[in-house]
Amino acid sequence: MKLKEIYQLAVDMGKRYDLRGEYLSALLEKKLADFEKLSEQERDFYDMETLRNPYSDTRILVGTGEEEITTVMSGIDIETPEILLADRLRERGHKIDLLLAHHPEGMAAAALHDVMHAQADMMEKAGVPINIAEGIMASRISEVQRGMMPLNHQRAVDAARLLDLPFVCVHSPADIMVSHFLQELIAKSEISTVDDIVQLLLTLPEYRKASEVKAGPRIVAGDKKRRAGKIFVKMSGGTAGSEKAYGKLAAAGIGTYICMHIPDKHRQEARENNINVIVAGHMASDSLGMNLFLDQLESNGVKIIPCSGLIRVKRIAEPNLH
C-alpha cells in the first residue's frame, strides 16, 4: 500500500463508525465555506487537510504519501525513543517503511482540541440536550487548546524526518472504532451489574493481557454488585471532557460510565452523581482500536511490528473496507 492509502483508509474507517453520521459531511461543507471567506494571507497558514479529513489528530507527519509501505512499526506512542529504536532495528536488517503511532504528534497534537467537539454529540446521544452539551464542552476545549500551546510538538516529527522515516498518527479513527466495537458488544450481551461489564471486557484478549501486567479494567466509582443501568461508553473525543458533564449525564439516566482513563476530579463528580465508573484501561483500549485498523493493513499485505504498549491481537478484517 502507499502511505496515502493507509492514511485515507484510517480516515474512511473513522467516518464509517462515527456516531455523527451524515453530520460529518455538513461539518466539512462548513469548513470549505469558512475557508473560502479567508484572505490570501490567512490561507497561507490554513491546514488544507481539514477540508476532507474531520479528524485533526490524524495526519501524515513525515512523508509525501507516495511511499510504498510493506512493513509498519506501530505503537501507542511513537516518540524519539521509538524512532531511534526503529532506526536501530533497520541497522540490524529489519525492514521498516513506516512509523504508525496512535497518540498524535506534531501538528496533530497541537490540534487535538478540535476533535473534542464530538463529545457534545456523544452526550446528546445519551440524552443531554445539545445546547447544554456544547456549552459544557466549550470551556474545556479552550483549556486543552491553551494547555497544548507551550509543548514541543515537533520533537518526534523532527527525529523521524532526520532519520528519513515516514511517520503517521491515527488517533480519533481508532478511538471511534473501539467505541463502536464495545457499544455493539454490550448491546448484544446480557448485562445486569457493573461487574458483568468488567467480566465482558475480560473476554477480550487486549483486556486480559493488560490484566496480566496489572493494567486491566477497574471499577473506580460505585460497586461491582450495583446494577449497571444505562451505559455510556466514552472512548473517543480526543481527551477527557468537562467534569460538569456527570451531573447532566446522571439527569439523562446514565448509570455506568466506561472510559480509558479518568482524572480524579471527574471520578469525584461521578461518585457525587451516583454514576458507576469503569476504567477499562488506556493501553488495552487504545490497542483494541488500533488492532481493528491494523487488521485491515495486514489484509492488504502489510506486515506489522508492534511496539510501545501496543497489545497486538489479530481479528478478521472487514473485506468491504479494503
Whether 318 shows a pLDDT value over 90: the answer reads no
Q: Is residue 319 part of a domain?
A: no
Please tell me the predicted confidence (pLDDT) of residue 35: 96
Tell me what the mean pLDDT of segment 266-286 comes to.
98
Question: Is the residue at 243 inside a domain?
Answer: yes
Say whether pLDDT at 321 is over 50: no
Q: What is the pLDDT of residue 319?
A: 52
Output the pLDDT for position 174.
98
Residue numbers of the domain that contains 97:
3-171+285-308
What does the pLDDT look like over 5-57, one tens digit per residue?
999 999 999 999 999 999 999 999 999 999 999 999 999 999 999 999 999 99
Write out pLDDT tens, residues 92-140: 999 999 999 999 999 999 999 999 999 999 999 999 999 999 999 999 9
CATH of the domain at 251: 3.40.1390
Whether residue 54 is found in the same domain as residue 154:
yes
Q: Is residue 291 part of a domain?
A: yes
**Number of separate domains in the chain:** 2
In this structure, the answer to whether residues 152 and 297 fall within a common structural domain is: yes
Residues 166 and 17 in one domain: yes
Residues 110 and 248 in one domain: no
Residue identified by cell 448509570 is 255
Tell me, yes or no, whether 90 and 144 share the same domain: yes
String of b and e for 174-204 (b: at least 16 CB within 10 Å)? bbbbbbbbbbeebeeeebebbbbbbebbeeb
Give domain status of residue 322, yes or no. no
Are 302 and 222 found together in one domain?
Answer: no
Residue 321: inside a domain: no
Residues 250 and 278 in one domain: yes
204-224 tens-digit pLDDT: 999 999 999 999 999 999 999
161 three-state secondary structure = helix
- Residue 204 domain flag: yes
Within-domain flag for 276: yes
Residues in the chain: 322
What is the pLDDT at residue 310?
98
Whether 123 and 76 map to the same domain: the answer is: yes
Instruction: State whether 197 and 74 are in the same domain.
Output: no
Q: What's the confidence (pLDDT) of residue 245?
A: 97
Both 164 and 259 in one domain: the answer is no
- Let me know if residue 255 belongs to a domain: yes
Q: Which of 282, 300, 316 is the last residue of a domain?
A: 282
CA 30 to each of CA 14, 50, 276: distance values in angstroms, whole numbers, following the listed order: 19, 11, 38
Looking at the fold, whether 46 and 151 belong to one and the same domain comes out as: yes
291 shares a domain with 255: no
Upper half-sphere CA count for residue 133 (Cβ side, 13 Å) = 18
